[in-house]
Structure formats: structure tokens, C-alpha cells
Chain A
Amino acid sequence: DQQVKQNSPSLSVQEGRISILNCDYTNSMFDYFLWYKKYPAEGPTFLISISSIKDKNEDGRFTVFLNKSAKHLSLHIVPSQPGDSAVYFCAAPLGAQKLVFGQGTRLTINP
């Protein structure tokens, strides 16, 4: 049972434009969400998070939006840069020590 889903395996965006990565979840008990970024041959690194008491959290070029009624969150990157090319995972804690991850979306930024 995939409780966190990223339905787009890949996304290609032109440099300077906005990248929008989407994530859906099924478990209404989730109250916190995280985005991780992963380069090849490296472990995932934390990017940004959002609590369910908010509907938006912003950190520089990265903004995460949460729509609780739709059980949907999205990560916006603007402007997109070549270094943003990576695999992005959304995740939610299930209990204190376990993260449930989506399948990931590979973002490619084209010059």
C-alpha cells in the first residue's frame, strides 16, 4: 500500500522556469511532510518541510504547498537552475522513527 505517491517519474524543465513536483498521500494521519533531494551516488539530503498546520512554507527558491483536503502537496522551484537536476522524494513520518517515501521524481533542468 503506497501511502505516499509521486505519479510523475520524470520532469523536464527549462533553466529559469518554474519546476513543480507533485506528491499525493492517502493517510490522513500524516501531519508533517518533507522533501528530499538526491544526486546519483549520494544519499538523500533534506530540502524543505511543512507541518499540517500550515499550507505553505518557503525557503529561498523552494516553496512547498500543502492542500490537506486534497491530500496533495507540491514543491515549487523558481527559478530552476542546472544544479537542481536530481531525484526528488516527498516523505511523511509514520510514527516517530519511520519515514514513508514516495517513488521519486527525476527532475532535469535543460539549459
Chain B
Amino acid sequence: KAGVTQTPRYLIKTRGQQVTLSCSPISGHRSVSWYQQTPGQGLQFLFEYFSETQRNKGNFPGRFSGRQFSNSRSEMNVSTLELGDSALYLCASSPDGGDYGYTFGSGTRLTVV
């Protein structure tokens, strides 16, 4: 079966711009989580969506937002980009988010210049 698909794979944006990243979960998975990976910080939880509802949110500023569609596909948006937003953004899906059966996508590498 197809895995978790994230698009685009790479992105270069300028400070102040906004960006939208996309994640298509494994078919049948209804929970989608987003993580930010930066050097030395590991993976940090951004938010989790289930059935179009945000169930959990990490400690990130309001510039980071997300949504989930009825087909479980999810997008995350970062507005007013800062240099520190440069990171690998990873999406993970699971059947319901409660069984720790997370499957990660390959990520979107965002570079802010």
C-alpha cells in the first residue's frame, strides 16, 4: 500500500512569505500529525488532526496552523516566515492516533532565506 506522501519535497522561501505544505496519509488512516525537525532539537510536535478536528497542539506560535480535509489529507501553513523556520517538516499518519502506530512521510525540507 502507498505510504505517507508529502509535497513538495524541497522548498525555498523568503523571510516574510507564507508557505503551505501538504500531507496525504496512508489510505484508511484518519489521524495526521505534524513535526518539525531541526538540528540539535530532534522532532518537535506541531499538531495532530483527526476527522478534520485539531485534537492536540504543540508549543509553536500562531504563525503555524493546519487543517485536515474530509479525505484525511492535511495541510500545514506557516505565515510570515522567519529564518528559524528552516527545518524538515514531517507528517505522520496512524489509524486513529491512539495506538502509536505512526508512519512518517519523507518530509518537506523548507529553507527560508
User: Are the CB atoms of A43 and B45 closer together than 8 Å?
Assistant: no
Q: How large is the interface on B (under 10, 10 to 19, 20 to 34, 35 or more residues)?
A: 20 to 34
Chain A contacts for B106, CB-based, 8 A: 41-43
User: Are the CB atoms of B42 and A98 closer together than 8 Å?
Assistant: no
Which of B48, B50, B103 sits near A98, CB closer than 8 Å?
Answer: B48
- Chain B interface mostly: strand
B16 at the interface (CB under 8 A from A): no
Chain A contacts for B105, CB-based, 8 A: 43
A52 CA to B50 CA in the complex, in Å? 27
What number of A residues sit within 8 Å (CB to CB) of B? 26
A22 at the interface (CB under 8 A from B): no
A97 CA to B47 CA in the complex, in Å? 9
Chain B residues close to A by CB (< 8 Å)? 4, 31, 33, 35, 40-45, 48, 50, 55-56, 58, 90, 92, 97-98, 100-107
Closest 6 CB pairs of A and B: A43-B104, A97-B48, A101-B43, A97-B97, A103-B42, A101-B42
